[in-house]
Amino acid sequence: MIRIATRGSKLARWQAERVGALLGGDVEYVLVQTHGDIDQTSDIHRLGGQGVFVKEVQQAVLDGRADLAVHSAKDLPSGATGGLCIGAVPERGDVRDALVGSTLAALPRGGRIGSGSVRRRAQLAYARPDLEFGPLRGNIETRLRKRVDEGFDAVVVAYAALERLGLAGEATEVLEPSVVLPQVAQGALAVECRDDDANARERLRAIDDVDAHRAVDAERAFLAELGGACDLPCGALATVGAGGEMLELEVLLAAIDGRAVVRAHTSGRDPHAVGVTAARELLDERGGRALLDAAGRAS
């Protein structure tokens, strides 16, 4: 028997059950409620950003109530959690965001978009400065319902979430990374176990997608190098070349209002080095440092 800690939403359960199916054998699911689940009104970045959906799930593993924790990898803070390691990143889903309700081009002038993500808002505002934005929280089904209930012309969600819930047909447009660069590790799952649990680490090694894991490691290294104090919208997407060795990493930093967006690209074999190099290029050569300085003066 292996015990998997997970949040209780339909999407979180799908993710945990996917990992359980990959592992095979007897699985018990330990349902955990997180701070992000309890507070359904505050914007994620005001709650503390990454970590609000994972801390309580991680604690279930640390205190022995579960053997594994399954997360949306994008919800994990960029730094390691003491006592835990990411034992597996299974196959990655679609990394892109999707609009539900309208295509970007068809949105009326001054159209109202629902999104709780500063990353999505900033990039869409850069593409369409006329757009207006309203807060959007809750599970996927709730967000789709709020599009109608709260009068949004469209809402933005992760396309992988729609696919995993059998709702891909709800997407009006899937946004290419050239328009909206994804969040770090979007579309990927991360499975954590205790550092000292040799049996769990061995079992997870069998379901690890090496290419997906390397890509996620590069994106997380970028975020860590950018700095935990950075509250500006950022995105990253790493891809593995055909030979399976070279990583290509595209990264982005934007002003909160979307008036300025800077991008950088780098490549290499070592995920950590690629992520660090991309962050430094973005900050020191592409104008990212000026965005951070301007944000600091405005705060």
Question: Which residue numbers are catalytic?
Answer: 74-75, 119-120, 137, 143, 230
Q: Rounded distance, CA 84 to CA 63, Å? A: 11
For residues 148-167, one letter each, b for 16 or more C-beta atoms within 10 angstroms of the residue's C-beta and e for the rest, the string is eeeebbbbbbbbbbbbbbeb
Q: Rounded distance, CA 283 to CA 263, Å? A: 10
Q: Rounded distance, CA 148 to CA 273, Å? A: 45
Bridge partners, 88 (sequence order): 191
From the list 246, 217, 248, 226, the residue with the least C-alpha distance to 76 is 217
- For residues 275 and 249, the answer to whether their CB atoms sit within 8 Å is yes
- For residues 238 and 202, the answer to whether their CB atoms sit within 8 Å is no
- For residues 115 and 155, the answer to whether their CB atoms sit within 8 Å is yes
Q: Rounded distance, CA 180 to CA 99, Å? A: 11
